[in-house]
């Protein structure tokens, strides 16, 4: 079975993206995004200890060690946090650098562990095609693809089977508690899935890309929809798109693959943030300026009505003086109200209200 | 024997040229990040430091790309600009979208760091070995500190402390009650930006010694440890600076004893140990004294029960 190495790298990345982006939705919604930061760093310690214990890079031992250290991280953070001595974010910021530091020292002090500390951060997805799995001496394809594929099945079944529980405990914890949906159990199961996903993904792409895939596509999806099911689909799609574009860019520019993928997730997030429908910065700004214009229309018509009532004249220049607007804005508004036939200009350049305008003003004052 | 060895390591600070600068650089970092970390912890922005430390990486890449030198001051300037930019992006995301702070921090951290790795790998592909010196910012390389680096770090640290002393009252008020500060007419928005900028400088100092990954620990752990001993901000800042400086010196001394042991992780483990000690031994909140107090309390209540039951016996005799 021979697949080209490009396809294996893209496949690995796509599987990592899908795994992380789906679980990441719940992290973002539950305000636990930085937990993925903590877990994906402290996983190093578990992997190093597992390698020591078994004497080699056995995939099962590495995954078990990593998951255990992930659970250790979560438990320590919650222990510190629940003791009331520290806030949650401080607990995270103390536990993971500590565990990571121990991991780094173990790696550098023991010469026989084949772990490159820098590669821990940005992974070595480039080598995914060369790490193949053998079944009875038969090459059955890339190891990372197999492991990630199994993980994807586990993640999908986790989300599908516990969808109701996850959804309710995410949005309304007390309802989940009273409905007997065991939010605490769901919480710990979710954390175990996060740890497993982080370990497996970490092995192929490194800590930073794991965090990027966990948080960034899910955050972008959060800005695009209000439905959980859609958010999951959008998040996974954005993750996969970033993986593919990131890989192509990395090959084109001859730069780090995982770094390039992380950057692309950020660019996609930035595009959604600025240009997204409804919640994007541009559409928000448009909406706000439209609302402001409508309010100013009311102000200017009432102003003209009042001034005419007390026998004073209103022109474009007097408008900008008395209402404190710039000349350009007053000109724009006065042109608009003339176009709409709310007012007419007489020969001296002063405004008089038409019947339509008068009706409009009366509408406002009612 | 052991005492002698410890003494010789300690004396190494005065005799060993390399160790002196390593210890001094690490101490400067510890003192600065310890003092400023108090504000990040009290403002519930602990992981802000993590995000901006990671965000600094592309700055180093760009500085090298455009200036073409490894001049440490220039690299630090690039790092500071990007760290600051990353901080502002994080604030902008939380202010203009419904995304919460934790996710915003994660976005800045991973995307900026990813960009940094892209730049470093690009530099490697165009310039051969030139990247070698830039790699050290990931985990820091205190052992590579030389006299001029330490002088630069000292100047930056002095700058931070000058601003801290000048604006102490303002920083205090924005930290504890920013709406009150606003009502008194303090420009809270600018003060927040100024405080963020000072923290950025502390982070940039840390890049040399502990690196981007472990920097967050240097901001949080000393402050959290100091918080266990005192409730007064001024005392907390002083104590936190002492803890940070101490862990810098102890960490660099321990790491000098073993071949190839990187300084950054050892410093982080040292400061976490100081935090652990504070958890146990602090007189007001520590586990040890709490345990003793509880024991004494239960002893007192046991005694009380005993005297009551004795009195009952006296009054009623044997029933």
A168–chain B nearest CA distance, Å = 19
Q: Are the Cβ atoms of A261 and B275 closer than 8 angstroms?
A: no
What does the block give as tokens for B289?
């004294």
| Pairwise CB contact (< 8 Å): B111 & A266 | yes
Partners of residue B103 in chain A, C-beta under 8 Å: 27-28, 31, 33, 215, 218-219, 222
Reported confidence tier of residue B178, pLDDT bands at 50, 70, 90: confident
Task: Name the most confidently modeled range: A136-150, A174-188, A230-244.
Answer: A230-244
Q: What distance in Å separates the CA atoms of residue B75 and residue B81, rounded to the nearest whole number? A: 10
Question: Tokens representing B258?
Answer: 């073993």
Q: Give contacts of B118 with chain A, Cβ < 8 Å.
A: 250, 253, 255-256, 259-260, 263
- Tell me the domains of chain A and their CATH numbers: 5-238 (1.10.3470.10), 282-365 (1.10.10.10)
Question: Binning pLDDT at 50, 70 and 90, where does residue A272 land?
Answer: very high
**Of the candidates B50, B86, B89, B64, the residue with the CA atom closest to the CA atom of residue B207:** B50
CB proximity B221 to A under 8 Å:
yes
A101 and B115: CB-CB below 8 Å?
no
pLDDT digits (tens, 9 = 90+) for B37-77: 999 999 888 888 899 999 998 998 888 888 777 677 788 88
Phi and psi, residue A83, nearest 5° = -70, -10
- Residue pairs spanning A and B at CB distance below 8 A: 191
Do you know the residue count of chain A? Answer: 366
Looking at every residue in chain B, the average pLDDT score rounds to 85
Q: Which residues pair with A343 in a beta bridge?
A: A353
Tell me which chain B residue has its CA closest to the CA of residue A94.
Answer: B217
Per-position DSSP letters for B245-283, written without gaps between them = HHHHHHHHHHHHHSTT--HHHHHHHHHHHHHHHHHHH-T
Cα distance between residue B123 and residue B319, in whole Å:
94
Backbone phi, psi, residue B305, to 5°: -60, -40
From A225, which residue of chain B is nearest by alpha-carbon distance? B98
Picking from A87, A93, A260, the nearest residue to B217 by CB comes out as A93
DSSP letters spanning A1-43: ----HHHHHHHHHHHHHHHHHHHHHHHHHTT-HHHHHHHHHHH
Tokens of A271: 């595009």
Angle in degrees, CA A218, A221, A226, rounded to 5: 120
| Closest Cβ–Cβ partner in B103, B125, B220 for A219 | B103
Q: What residues 172-211 of chain B have any CB closer than 8 A to a CB of chain A?
A: none
| Interface-testing mutation among B40, B46, B117, B143, with chain A (most A C-beta atoms within 10 A) | B117
How far from A81 is each of A34, A57, A70, A152, B21, CA to CA, in Å? 14, 34, 17, 32, 37
Confidence of residue A1 (pLDDT cuts 50, 70, 90): very low
**Domains of chain B, each with CATH number or no CATH:** 18-303 (1.10.3470.10)
B111/A265 CB distance under 8 A = yes
Exposed e or buried b for every residue in A276-301, given b needs 16+ CB within 10 A? beebbeeeeeeeeeeeeeeebbeebb
Contacts of A265 in chain B (CB under 8 A): 110-111, 114
Mean pLDDT of chain A: 85
Query: B280 at the A interface (CB within 8 A)?
Result: no
B81 pLDDT higher than 90: yes
Query: What pLDDT sits at residue A178?
Result: 86
Lowest mean pLDDT of A73-77, A203-207, B116-120, B294-298, name the range.
A203-207
B135 touching A (Cβ < 8 Å): yes
Please report where in the chains the tokens 């009623």 appear, as a residue: B316
């Amino acid at each position: 079975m021979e697949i080209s190495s490009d396809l294996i790298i893209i496949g690995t990345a796509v599987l990592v993206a899908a795994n992380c982006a789906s679980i990441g939705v719940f992290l973002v919604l539950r305000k636990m995004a930085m937990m993925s930061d903590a877990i994906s760093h402290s996983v190093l310690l578990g992997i190093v200890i597992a390698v020591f214990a078994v004497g080699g890079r056995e995939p099962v031992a590495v995954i078990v060690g990593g998951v255990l250290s992930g659970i250790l991280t979560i438990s320590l953070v919650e222990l510190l946090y629940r003791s009331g001595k520290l806030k949650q974010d401080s607990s995270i910021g103390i536990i993971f650098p500590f565990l990571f530091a121990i991991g780094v020292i173990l790696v550098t002090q023991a010469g026989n562990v084949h772990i490159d500390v820098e590669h821990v951060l940005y992974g070595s997805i480039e080598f995914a095609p060369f790490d193949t799995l053998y079944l009875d001496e038969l090459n059955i394809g890339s190891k990372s693809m197999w492991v990630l594929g199994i993980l994807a099945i586990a993640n999908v079944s986790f989300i599908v089977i516990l969808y109701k529980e996850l959804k309710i405990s995410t949005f309304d914890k007390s309802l989940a508690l009273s409905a007997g949906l065991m939010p605490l159990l769901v919480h710990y199961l979710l954390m175990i899935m996060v740890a497993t996903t982080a370990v497996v993904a970490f092995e192929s792409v490194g800590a930073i890309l794991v965090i990027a895939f966990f948080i960034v596509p899910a955050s972008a999806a959060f800005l695009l929809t209000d439905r959980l099911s859609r958010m999951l689909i959008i998040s996974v799609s954005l993750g996969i798109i970033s993986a593919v574009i990131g890989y192509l860019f990395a090959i084109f520019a001859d730069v780090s693959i995982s770094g390039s993928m992380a950057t692309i997730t950020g660019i996609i997030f930035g595009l959604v943030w600025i240009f997204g429908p409804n919640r994007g910065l541009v559409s928000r700004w448009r909406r706000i300026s439209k609302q402001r214009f409508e309010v100013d229309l009311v102000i200017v018509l009432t102003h003209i009505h009042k001034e005419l009532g007390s026998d004073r004249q209103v022109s474009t220049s007097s408008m900008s003086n008395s209402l404190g607007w710039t000349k350009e804005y007053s000109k724009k508004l006065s042109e608009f109200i003339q176009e709409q036939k709310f007012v007419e200009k007489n020969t001296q350049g002063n405004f008089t209200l038409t019947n339509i305008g008068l009706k409009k003003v009366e509408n406002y004052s009612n | 024997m052991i005492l002698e060895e410890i003494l010789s390591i300690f004396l190494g600070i005065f005799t060993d040229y390399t160790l002196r600068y390593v210890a001094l650089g690490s101490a400067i970092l510890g003192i600065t990040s310890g003092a400023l970390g108090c504000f990040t912890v009290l403002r519930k922005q602990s992981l802000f430091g993590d995000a901006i430390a990671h965000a600094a990486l592309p700055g180093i890449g760009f500085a090298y790309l455009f200036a073409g030198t490894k001049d440490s001051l220039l690299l630090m300037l690039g790092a500071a600009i990007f760290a600051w930019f990353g901080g502002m992006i994080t604030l902008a995301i939380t202010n203009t979208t419904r995304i919460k702070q934790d996710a915003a921090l994660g976005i800045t951290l991973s995307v900026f760091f990813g960009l940094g790795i892209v730049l470093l790998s690009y530099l490697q592909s165009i310039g051969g070995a030139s990247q070698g010196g830039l790699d050290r910012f990931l985990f820091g390389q205190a052992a590579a500190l030389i006299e001029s680096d330490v002088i630069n770090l000292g100047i930056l640290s002095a700058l931070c402390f000058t601003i801290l002393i000048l604006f102490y009252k303002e920083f205090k008020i924005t930290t504890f009650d920013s709406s009150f500060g606003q009502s008194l007419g303090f420009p809270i928005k600018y003060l927040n930006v100024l405080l963020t900028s000072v923290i950025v400088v502390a982070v940039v100092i840390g890049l040399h010694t502990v690196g981007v990954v472990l920097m967050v620990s240097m901001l949080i752990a000393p402050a959290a440890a100091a918080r266990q001993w005192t409730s007064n901000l001024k005392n907390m800042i002083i104590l936190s600076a002492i803890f940070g400086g101490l862990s810098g010196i102890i960490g660099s001394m321990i790491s000098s004893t073993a071949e190839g042991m990187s300084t950054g992780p050892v410093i982080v483990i040292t400061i976490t140990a100081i935090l652990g000690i504070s958890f146990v031994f602090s007189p007001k909140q520590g586990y040890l004294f709490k345990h003793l107090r509880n024991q004494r309390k239960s002893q007192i209540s046991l005694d009380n029960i005993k005297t009551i039951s004795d009195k009952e016996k006296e009054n009623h005799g044997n029933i």
